[in-house]
């Protein structure tokens, strides 16, 4: 059977017979067709039946930050692939050097870029660095890595070990030792909310440090704004408190920018919204907007220097990622960065993010089911609750019904799902950074109509 788009049913049949899709239960595909996406342009994608969709989640998982169909990225990729597609990362390449320099220019205080392929892999690199620093410099102490409830850092066993989403982790244990959880900082769903919450949230981390012993802890790994865990923007003062804890107890601060990285929140990186200085930053999705697979683990010179020791034959970072040597990644990333810069997409994220938030806030008058709207730039969430006083989360099935209604009507939105038991109740919005006012209004109109129908 040949798979041609002029024979849509053949494509659907091939997909149904042979593709194991990410993150979905396949039983329903016995009676319904899997959706096949065939084309994208700007903010829109078309499926194999010809149906058009406005994509409010940048490729489903907040990736295509510069939008679909960018010929400048494709042209640069073609030219580079013909010239040199690959060489193992023990050596350098022109796009690798050029992109690293441009990237570091956006990250004052950091200086080294380690290339890999996925967000999970970049986080694994960071974890390995922390473990090797522990072995080399602390006699095996300071090996523990703290992570936060509701945060997600990837899909590998080590990343799940650092994952604060219990339903994501379920059935995949046993996990890697020496990953320790600290509490989340979602004030809306915290019993101790109210005056002084940020200080208490920081103190809760300090309590874990004191319980475990600071000399056992090497790093604290956090998302700048928790993404799939419910779009959690930490309360004012939280980040300064976290930075102070890391300094006080000599703990490396590892910020996972896999989602917020490159413009999503309105600054190049999410951490830059809060005036903090991390030691390690990992990034993936928005680095090349999905035009090529690339992730980066970026460190300070201080971290890098801990591996520069030729008296220990095993003392350098003995890590490799075969496809971290593909030139496609940094080539696409360079063009992606130029687009964000030339088209002032960080500014657009701020302006359109404000519109998106204002529109969602306005929906609260009409739809009592929206308990809270929160986010930064073009990264917004709306938490759905049964009752605004008790803040009881809306059932996941009904949250998914809202997503399903929007999809049926040609707008792709997201929601936290199968992540936190009982709390998969936040609608997620992360449109491409090129979104216009009318795109934003179309997204929120679809949500308005979906809530009216689903909650009727
Ligand atoms: C915050 C965060 N970190 C890491 C990852 C893992 O990235 P990847 O799927 O590229 O491995 C994700 C994926 O959604 C993420 O949201």
390 C-beta neighbours (distance < 10 Å), count: 9
For residue range 365-378, what is the model confidence (pLDDT) as tens digits? Answer: 999 999 999 999 99
pLDDT category at 6 given cuts 50, 70, 90 is confident
Q: How far does residue 357's CA lie from ligand 1's centre (Å)?
A: 24
Residue 117 CA, closest ligand 1 atom number: 10
Nearest alpha carbon to residue 223 among 133, 288, 153, 316? 153
d(CA 185, CA 202): 9
Looking only at the bridges linking them, the beta strands covering 144-148 and 426-429 are unpaired
Q: How far does residue 152's CA lie from ligand 1's centre (Å)?
A: 7
Q: How far does residue 227's CA lie from ligand 1's centre (Å)?
A: 9
Which pLDDT belongs to residue 354? 98
Nearest alpha carbon to residue 448 among 369, 355, 342, 336? 369
For the chain, domain boundaries: 35-64+344-454, 71-342
Q: How far does residue 159's CA lie from ligand 1's centre (Å)?
A: 9
Which pLDDT belongs to residue 129? 98
What's the whole-number mean pLDDT along residues 250-260? 98
What's the whole-number mean pLDDT along residues 438-455? 98
| pLDDT > 70 fraction of the chain, expressed in percent and rounded | 99
Q: How far does residue 346's CA lie from ligand 1's centre (Å)?
A: 21
What's the whole-number mean pLDDT along residues 156-162? 98
Q: Whose CA is nearest to atom 6 of ligand 1?
A: 154
**386 vs 319, 328, 330, 367, 426, CA distance in Å?**
49, 47, 46, 11, 12
CB 346 within 8 Å of CB 267? yes
Residue 339 tokens read as 């687009």
Residue 226 CA, closest ligand 1 atom number: 1
The residue among 111 and 310 whose pLDDT is bigger is 111
What's the whole-number mean pLDDT along residues 269-286? 98
- Biggest CA pair distance of the chain: 71
Which pLDDT belongs to residue 2? 45
CB 230 within 8 Å of CB 416? yes
For residue range 312-364, what is the model confidence (pLDDT) as tens digits? Answer: 999 999 999 999 999 999 999 999 999 999 999 999 999 999 999 999 999 99
With residue 280 as reference, give the H or E element that holds it: strand 280-283
Residue 223 CA, closest ligand 1 atom number: 1
Which pLDDT belongs to residue 281? 99
CB 182 within 8 Å of CB 147? yes
Q: Whose CA is nearest to atom 16 of ligand 1?
A: 259
Which pLDDT belongs to residue 146? 99
DSSP single-letter state for residue 207: H
> What is the crossing angle of helices 94-104 and 328-342, to 10°?
40
d(CA 106, CA 111): 10
DSSP letters spanning 83-152 = H--B--TTS--HHHHHHHHHHHTTSTT--EEEEESSHHHHHHHHHHHHHHHHHHHSTT-S-EEEEETT--
CB 248 within 8 Å of CB 217? no
Mean pLDDT of the chain: 97
Pocket of ligand 1 (CB under 6 A): 61, 118-120, 123, 152-155, 223, 227-228, 256, 258-259, 284
The answer to whether residue 302 scores a pLDDT higher than 80 is: yes
The answer to whether residue 293 scores a pLDDT higher than 50 is: yes
Nearest alpha carbon to residue 231 among 263, 189, 202? 189
What's the whole-number mean pLDDT along residues 298-322? 96
DSSP single-letter state for residue 226: B
Residue 228 CA, closest ligand 1 atom number: 16
For residue range 188-219, what is the model confidence (pLDDT) as tens digits? Answer: 999 999 999 999 999 999 999 999 999 999 99
Sheet containing 52-55: give its strands across: 37-41, 44-47, 52-55, 411-412
CATH architecture label of 35-64+344-454: Alpha-Beta Complex (3.90)
Residue to mutate (ligand 1; options 258, 261, 428, 430; most atoms within 8 A of CB): 258
Which pLDDT belongs to residue 410? 98
Which pLDDT belongs to residue 1? 39
The domain over range 71-342 is classified in CATH as 3.40.640.10: yes
Whether the CA torsion 64, 66, 67, 73 is positive or negative: it is: negative
What's the whole-number mean pLDDT along residues 61-77? 98
**φ, ψ for residue 60, nearest 5 deg:** 90, -45
For residue range 219-230, what is the model confidence (pLDDT) as tens digits? Answer: 999 999 999 999
Which pLDDT belongs to residue 5? 65
């Amino acid at each position: 059977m040949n798979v041609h788009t002029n024979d849509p049913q053949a494509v659907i049949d091939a997909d149904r017979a042979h593709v194991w899709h990410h993150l979905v239960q396949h039983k329903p595909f016995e009676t319904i067709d899997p959706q096949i996406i065939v084309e994208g342009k700007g903010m829109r994608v078309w499926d194999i039946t010809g149906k058009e969709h406005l994509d409010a989640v940048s490729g489903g998982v907040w990736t295509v930050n510069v939008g679909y169909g960018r010929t400048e990225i494709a042209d640069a990729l073609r030219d580079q692939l013909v010239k040199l597609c690959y060489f193992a990362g023990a050596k350098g390449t022109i796009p690798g050097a050029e992109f690293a320099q441009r990237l570091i220019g956006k990250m004052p205080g950091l200086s080294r870029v380690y290339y890999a392929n996925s967000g999970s892999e970049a986080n694994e690199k960071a974890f390995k660095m922390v473990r090797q620093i522990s072995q080399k410099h602390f006699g095996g102490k300071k090996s523990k890595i703290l992570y936060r409830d509701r945060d997600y850092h990837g899909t590998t066993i080590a990343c799940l070990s650092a994952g604060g989403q219990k339903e994501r982790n379920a059935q995949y244990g046993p996990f890697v030792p020496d990953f320790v959880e600290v509490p989340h900082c979602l004030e809306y769903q915290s019993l101790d909310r109210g005056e002084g919450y940020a200080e208490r949230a920081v103190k809760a981390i300090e309590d874990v440090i004191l319980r475990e012993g600071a000399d056992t802890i090497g790093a604290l790994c956090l998302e700048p704004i928790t993404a799939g865990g419910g779009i959690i923007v930490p309360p004012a003062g939280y980040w300064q408190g976290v930075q102070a804890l890391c300094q006080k107890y000599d703990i490396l601060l590892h910020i996972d920018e896999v989602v917020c990285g490159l413009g999503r929140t309105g600054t190049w990186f999410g951490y830059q919204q809060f005036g903090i200085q991390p030691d390690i930053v990992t990034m993936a999705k928005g680095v090349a907007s999905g035009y090529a697979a690339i992730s980066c683990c970026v460190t300070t010179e201080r971290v890098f220097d801990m591996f520069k020791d030729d008296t220990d034959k095993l003392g350098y970072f003995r890590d490799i990622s075969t496809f971290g040597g593909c030139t496609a990644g940094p080539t696409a990333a360079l063009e992606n960065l130029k687009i964000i810069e030339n088209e002032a997409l960080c500014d657009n994220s701020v302006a359109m993010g404000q519109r998106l938030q204002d529109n969602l806030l306005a929906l609260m008058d009409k739809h009592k089911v929206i308990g809270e709207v929160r986010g930064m730039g073009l990264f917004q969430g709306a938490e759905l609750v049964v009752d605004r006083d008790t803040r009881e989360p809306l059932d996941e099935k009904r949250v998914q019904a809202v997503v399903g209604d929007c999809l049926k009507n040609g707008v792709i939105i997201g929601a936290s799902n199968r992540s936190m038991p009982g709390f998969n109740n936040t609608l997620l919005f992360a449109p491409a950074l090129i979104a216009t006012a009318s795109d934003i209004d179309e997204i929120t109109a679809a949500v308005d109509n979906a809530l009216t129908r689903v909650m009727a």
